[in-house]
Every structure is written in C-alpha cells, then in structure tokens.
Amino acid sequence: MQRSPAKVGFVSLGCPKALVDSERILTKLRAEGYDVADTHEAADVVVVNTCGFLDSARAESLEAIGEAMARNGRVIVTGCMGMDEGAIRGAHPDVLSVTGPHQYEAVVAAVHQAAPPAHDPFLDLVPAAGLRLTPRHYAYLKISEGCNHRCTFCIIPHLRGDLVSRPAGEVMAEAEALVEAGVRELLVISQDTSAYGVDLKHAADPWRGRPVRAHMTDLCAALGELGVWVRLHYVYPYPHVDEVIPLMAQGRVLPYLDIPFQHANPRVLKAMRRPAHQEKTLDRIAAWRADCPDLTIRSTFIVGFPGETEAEFEDLLDWLDAAELDRVGCFQYEPVAGAPANDLAEPVDEDEKQERWERLMDLQRAVSERRLARWVGREVPVLVDEVDGEGATGRSPADAPEIDGVVHLPGATDLVAGDLVTAVIEESDEFDLWGRVRGG
C-alpha cells in the first residue's frame, strides 16, 4: 500500500540568493516524494533557511526558528546563520540539525532522518524546471556563488567563500528549462555578476551547438536569445559592463542595472574596500544613458559608515543629485558581527545616522518622482503580477519584483498573472506608475 507522503514545512528568509538555495532543497525533496506543508502544524518536520547578514536578520532568523519549534518542535536549520551554530543552539538547543549555506545534501539527509520519504517515482515526478517559490512567470537564476572581494562591512565571503561560477552551459540549460516551464522573466543573481566566470578563466561551454564563454557579456547575449525578459542584479561598474549596454539598447536584455554603489565619496569607498571604487561613475552613467536612454539604474547606499563625516555625506548627496538614479535603497550602517569595519574609528552615532538617512531619502524621493514622470504619455510593456476585482498590477522593464515600484492598471480585470501587455502611462508618483492597457 502506498504510504502518504511525508510533509515538510519550509521557511525561507534572506536575499534572493537564499531563495534559490531553498528552491534547490525543495526540488530535491519533492523529487523524493515529499509534500510541502502549508502550516507548521501540518508538517512532519520544518526546515528554516536563515539569513545571517545583519544583526536584525539574525534576530529574525532566531524568531522564525523559535516559532517553528513552538508550533512543530522538529526543526532543521540551514543557511547563512547556520555558520554560527553556537548562537542557534544557545537560543534553541533542541533543533534537530544545523548546517550552513548551500549544504543541500546535509539538509536533505537531516530531513530523511526526521521523516523518511515515501517515494514513488511514478507519482512524484518533479517538473524539469524544479520547484520554485517565486510566481510561475519569473524566476531567479543564480550564476555564481561567493565573492572575491572583501568589503569591510560584509561577512559574505567569510560565510560563502570565494567566487565559484557555474559553467555557462549549465546556466543556459537551467534558463531554457525555466522558459519552457512558462517563465517570462529571468532575474540573474550572484554576489558579483560582473565577475562571472573569472574563476573559470571564462572557459567556453557548448550551448545550441556553439561555445558560450563564462563571461557576463557572452552569457547576457545567450540569455537574450531566449525571448524572455532578462534582468541583471548585483553588477559592479567594471569596464566590460559597457559591452552589455548595446544588448540593452537592442532590446535583448532589459535596460536595467542593479549596481550597489554604497557610497560616492572616494575616501569612504576606499575604507569600505568597494570593488571598482576608482571608476568615474558619473561619466560612465552619462555614457550608458547616451547609448541606452531608457536605462533604469537601481542602487543601494550605506549612510553612517564609521568615520563618515558630514562633508563626505554631503558628497554623497551631491553625487545622487547629479546621478539621478531611478531607484535607491538606503541602509544605516549596522555593525555585523565579524565585519572588519566594526573596528574602524569614529562610529557615527545613531541619531546622526537616522538624520542622514532621512536627508538622503528625501532627496531621492524628489529624484525618483522626476525620473518616473518621464514615462507619462509613453507606451511601456508590462508583465502582469497580480489581478483582483479592481484591476491588475504589473511591472515595466524598470521595475524588479519585490524591490522596485509597480504599474497599476485599474479596471484591467480580464488579465492573468504572467500576461505581457502594452500600457499607456497616464500618471506617476515617486514610486509607481498608473496606466491603461493599449486597446483595452
């Protein structure tokens, strides 16, 4: 008699990279016949994929483990915070196992032990594209893991090690499988997308009968042949980024660059040990926009880095005013346990950090409002994410899911998630656009 499948609860915290890890673990478990439980109570065991990047993320991870322990009691912990087993066991001594990031096999083995699988290969087939936690029409595509840089505020290289790129053929095979499964937007992620393939010496791999080098430019060109949106995240402004701009201008890759600049003052950038900190970024941005006028640039910044003076902060404001970035996220510096920047002199006090954060966000709100107003009266493609009784919500090429704004399409109730439509933009504010479907 067929046993009913064991059920696994899953909590995935942290960045898109952690989400990809979660998807891999779930795909493997589904292939072995496990079901995914909707609630902690309905699960035979719960896996919590943690984030250990900031202290606030560590607190959130501990809370999620605590909730799973209270509601289920059989809990397997993995992910970045798993590197600090002492902290986890200190707070929750009875968790079943603790592993670090991308230890898929160890997580699966712990699940086997806690709740043995009831495998039936004929009933438990998994779609070729694996199981995704993102909506069906978009998916994250992780091209490498780890990082060769040593930014002083970051412990990711310590947690995840140096850069390890996936061979280009493997990345392309995954991308094709996702597109065949209905994905209409691929979000390329890594810790440092521009460095893709450096560790492989940019070795070529066969794809569709021709070689594709493990290099950002070649990979973008190949992904651009799949006929779906391709969005690039975590790009550093190395010189070869210039080669991707023509692909954007030709419509092969979305005209969108997510570049975490983090600051603009040269001394602060040097103290942060940022990659490409000597690049003349304002000139580069102007040149990119000249070649690709619809380019959207998103970035993140840190205010209140140790030693940041008022004058250095004002440099950052002036730079932002001149750069006119489309989308900006800003964090107040938080001393992450183990990060070298914590030892730098002159920490900025908390009130000052808050005040700088508010000034930066005020300035950026005005910039963002100006930038978005330029779409009014134009036609833009919109990928629909959600539809309810009032209308549809989607995103234009300028909007990444979760982090950017959206395009509201009031009254467009006949659409379904995953539709790609053309909208005429009628209104804008500092975050979002409003429009109507052309011909709708």
* Residue 317 burial (CB count, 10 A): 17
- Rounded to the nearest whole angstrom, what is the least distance from the CB of residue 276 to ligand SF4 in the complex? 10
Q: Which residues within the stretch 189-248 sit at the binding site for ligand SF4 (CB under 6 A)?
A: 191-192
Q: Residue 127 phi/psi, 5° resolution?
A: -55, 150
For residue 370, give the nearest of 324, 335, 432, 336 by alpha carbon. Answer: 324
Q: How big is the site for ligand SF4, counted in residues (CB under 6 A)?
A: 10
Q: Per-residue x/- mask for ligand SF4, residues 161 to 200, rule CB under 6 A? A: ------------------------------xx--------
For residue 351, what are the β-bridge partners?
none
The nearest distance, CB 154 to ligand SF4, in angstroms, is 3
Please name every residue paired with 434 in a beta bridge, in sequence order, or none if there are none.
408, 427
Tokens representing 112 are 């086997």
The side-by-side arrangement of strands in the sheet containing 97-98 is 35-36, 7-12, 45-50, 75-79, 97-98
Which segment (26-34, 46-54, 103-111, 146-154) binds ligand SF4 by CB under 6 A? 146-154
Task: Please identify which residue in 13, 80, 115, 147 interacts with ligand SF4, judged by CB under 6 A.
Answer: 147
β-pairing, 391-395 with 379-387? antiparallel
Residue whose token pair is 């043995």: 116
Binding segment (CB under 6 A) for ligand SF4, from list 148-156, 351-359, 400-408, 431-439: 148-156
Of the two residues 54 and 417, which places its CB atom closer to ligand SF4 in the complex? 54
Integer CA distances (angstroms), 404 to 219, 248, 259, 368, 372, in order? 25, 19, 14, 11, 12
Of 197, 275, 306, 405, the residue at the interface with ligand SF4 (CB under 6 A) is 275
Least separation in angstroms between residue 366's CB and ligand SF4 is 28
Binding ligand SF4 (rule: CB under 6 A), the pick from 62, 154, 219, 235 is 154
Segment interacting with ligand SF4, rule: CB under 6 A, options 123-131, 147-155, 178-186, 307-315: 147-155
Closest distance between ligand SF4 and the C-beta of residue 37, in Å?
Answer: 33
Whichever of 138 and 236 has its CB closer to ligand SF4, that residue is 236
CA distance 91 to 96: 13
Least distance (Å) from ligand SF4 to the CB of residue 157?
A: 5
| Integer Cα distance of 98 and 92 in angstroms | 11
Q: Contact between 258 and ligand SF4 (CB under 6 A)? A: no
Contact 415, 389 (CB under 8 A): no
Stretch in the footprint of ligand SF4 (CB under 6 A) among 28-36, 144-152, 177-185, 298-306:
144-152
Q: Are 25 and 62 in contact (CB under 8 A)?
A: no
Beta bridge partners of 303: 332
Please report whether residue 299 would count as binding ligand SF4 according to CB under 6 A. Answer: no
Q: Under DSSP, is residue 16 helix (H, G, I), strand (E, B) or coil?
A: helix
Which residues on adjacent β-strands are paired with residue 145? 164
> Nearer to ligand SF4 by C-beta: 52 or 117?
52
Relative to beta strand 391-395, strand 138-142 is unpaired
- Out of 13, 156, 316, 360, the residue judged to bind ligand SF4 by CB under 6 A: 156
In terms of CB distance, is 50 or 393 closer to ligand SF4?
Answer: 50
Does 279 sit near ligand SF4 (CB under 6 A)? no
Q: Nearest 5°: phi and psi at 75?
A: -130, 130
Check binding of 276 to ligand SF4 (CB under 6 A): no
Tokens 């880095």 map to which residue? Answer: 305
Closest to ligand SF4 by CB, 334 vs 355, is 334
Q: Are strands 433-437 and 407-410 parallel, antiparallel or unpaired?
A: parallel
110 vs 235 by CB, closer to ligand SF4:
235
Q: Is 101 in the site for ligand SF4 (CB under 6 A)?
A: no
In the chain the first and final C-alpha atoms are separated, in Å, by 54
Could you say whether residue 149 binds ligand SF4 (CB under 6 A)?
Answer: yes
- Summarize as ranges the residues that interact with ligand SF4 (CB under 6 A): 147, 149-151, 154, 156-157, 191-192, 275
